[in-house]
Amino acid sequence: MLVLVAPGQGSQTPGFLSPWLELPGVTDRLRAWSDIAGIDLVHYGTAADADAIRDTAVAQPLLVAGALLSAHALLGDGFAAASRLGAVAGHSVGELPAAAVAGVLTEAGTMALVRSRSTAMAEAAAVTETGMSAVLGGDPDEVAAKLEQHGLTPANNNGGGQIVAAGTLEQLAALAADKPESARVIPLKVAGAFHTHHMASAVKAMEATAQDVTVADPGVPFVSNADGQVVGDGREVVRRLVTQVSSPVRWDLCTETFRGLGVTALIELCPGGTLAGLAKRNLKGVAQLAVKSPDQLDAARELLAEHAADTAE
């Protein structure tokens, strides 16, 4: 059984869309999505520097575009081979392209939602200087106590002893100076305290946009960040996409669900690396592949062909 996953913010790197423009039709597709997203995806995905694509209003549409492009290349136009997947999921903003692959959202609806999400989250982040830091290792109870002590929120639980703390820059600096024993604290390349109360205003903006998008029930099991549950109702998927902006990401619970479903392989869409790395540590014995450029597509297709038989019923 193969799970297809899409990465979240912080995975972007300068020029990561450049090799994809060599594929037929990709430039036209990006131009069309750019009109909806309100940014030039070709420019930001090929020529912009690291600081420019760190901007939330830029990073999120870029990541959604990368995931959708690689999903088209792997599964065919319209994600024709999606029915061969055992499940789909995405980390944070990666839930949007995952919902598109599952058939819940149209591509136009996906880009409209990410435009609303990214713009509103950037505006919310500008109110107060906030950020996020990964806390790696340490005793889980001590880590939780330190975060509470410094007024921080455990915004992401990625499993395997990786918690992402979110809050003001002052709170994060205090944590870095007062680390939990045996833990490392690493600042992340994001521009706000996502998945916390700091993003409450962005939820309202997404709610308004979500009312106008076309929604269908998923044709592939969709595993939600909220609690790791498989959600079979399209409207419920969209409701969770909206509320997730200010709620913690429980990737640890998604991983448990993958295991319970009998996952044997995992492919991470472009720009892959982070989630495949987590799978390598937390899903022992499960084949994993990160798609960074079209060079990995043949290997991804082989992995899909090998493990798709386990999804057929």
Per-residue pLDDT, averaged over 277-305, amounts to 96
Say whether both 158 and 48 belong to one domain.
Answer: no
Set 150, 195, 198, 307: catalytic member? 195
How far is the C-alpha of 33 from the C-alpha of 37, rounded, in Å?
6
74, part of any domain: yes
* pLDDT score for 189: 76
**Residue 168 · residue 193 · CB < 8 Å:** yes
Mean local confidence (pLDDT), 193-206: 93
CA distance 120 to 205: 6
200-247 per-position pLDDT tens digit? 999 999 999 999 999 999 999 999 999 999 999 999 999 999 999 999
Percent of the chain with pLDDT over 90: 92
**DSSP 8-state assignment for residue 79:** G
Dist CA 313 CA 268 (whole Å): 24
Residue where a domain stops, chosen among 160, 187, 214: 187
CATH number for the domain spanning 175: value is 3.30.70.250
Residues 88 and 143 placed together within one structural domain of the fold: no
Eight-class DSSP state of 24: T
* pLDDT, tens digit, 9 for 90 and up, residues 258-279: 999 999 999 999 999 999 999 9
SS3 195: coil
Residue 7, domain member (yes or no): yes
Give the model's confidence band at 310: pLDDT under 50 very low, under 70 low, under 90 confident, else very high.
very low
Q: Indicate whether 84 and 226 sit together in one domain.
A: yes
Task: Please say if 83 is a catalytic residue.
Answer: no
Give, in order, the Cα–Cα distances in Å from 258 to each of 20, 40, 108. 29, 35, 28
* Number of domains comprising the chain: 2
Q: Is 209 a member of any domain? A: yes
Give the residue from 187, 207, 230 where a domain finishes.
Answer: 187
Same domain, 145 and 177: yes
Claim to verify: residue 73 and residue 215 sit in the same structural domain = yes
Task: Write down the catalytic residue from 92, 118, 133, 246.
Answer: 92
User: What's the pLDDT at 313?
Assistant: 40
Please give the share of the chain, as a percent, with pLDDT higher than 70: 98
Task: Assess whether 274 and 221 both reside in one domain.
Answer: yes
pTM listed for this prediction: 0.93
**Boundaries of domain holding 26:** 2-125+197-311
Give the sheet arrangement for strand 287-290, strand by strand.
Answer: 230-231, 222-223, 87-90, 2-6, 265-268, 287-290
- Predicted local distance difference test score (pLDDT) of residue 160: 86
Residue 292 confidence (pLDDT) above 50: yes
Average model confidence (pLDDT) for the chain? 94
Same domain, 206 and 307: yes
Q: Which of 120-134, 210-224, 278-292 has the lowest mean pLDDT?
A: 120-134
Q: Which of the four pLDDT bands, split at 50, 70 and 90, describes residue 188?
A: confident
Confidence of residue 10 (pLDDT cuts 50, 70, 90): confident
Q: Same domain for 77 and 204?
A: yes
For residue 192, is it within any domain? no
The residue from 140, 169, 187 where one domain ends is: 187
What average pLDDT does the segment 87-97 reach?
Answer: 97
Checking if the pLDDT of 13 tops 60, the result is yes
pLDDT on residue 254: 98
Tell me, yes or no, whether 119 lies in a domain: yes
37-86 residue pLDDT tens: 999 999 999 999 999 999 999 999 999 999 999 999 999 999 999 999 99
What DSSP assignment string belongs to 228-258?
Answer: S-EE--HHHHHHHHHHGGGS-EEHHHHHHHH
- List the CATH number of the domain containing 69: 3.40.366.10
Mean pLDDT of 106-112: 97
The verdict on 278 and 201 lying in the same domain is yes
Q: Is 201 a catalytic residue?
A: no
Predicted pLDDT of residue 309: 52
Q: Among 1-10, 84-93, 283-292, 302-311, name the one with the lowest average pLDDT.
A: 302-311
Confidence of residue 190 (pLDDT cuts 50, 70, 90): confident
Q: Is residue 210 part of a domain?
A: yes
Based on the domain organization, do 99 and 45 belong to the same domain? yes
Whether residues 101 and 228 share a domain: the answer is yes
- Same-domain pairing of 75 and 205: yes
Residue 259 counted as domain residue: yes
Whether 219 is covered by a domain: the verdict is yes
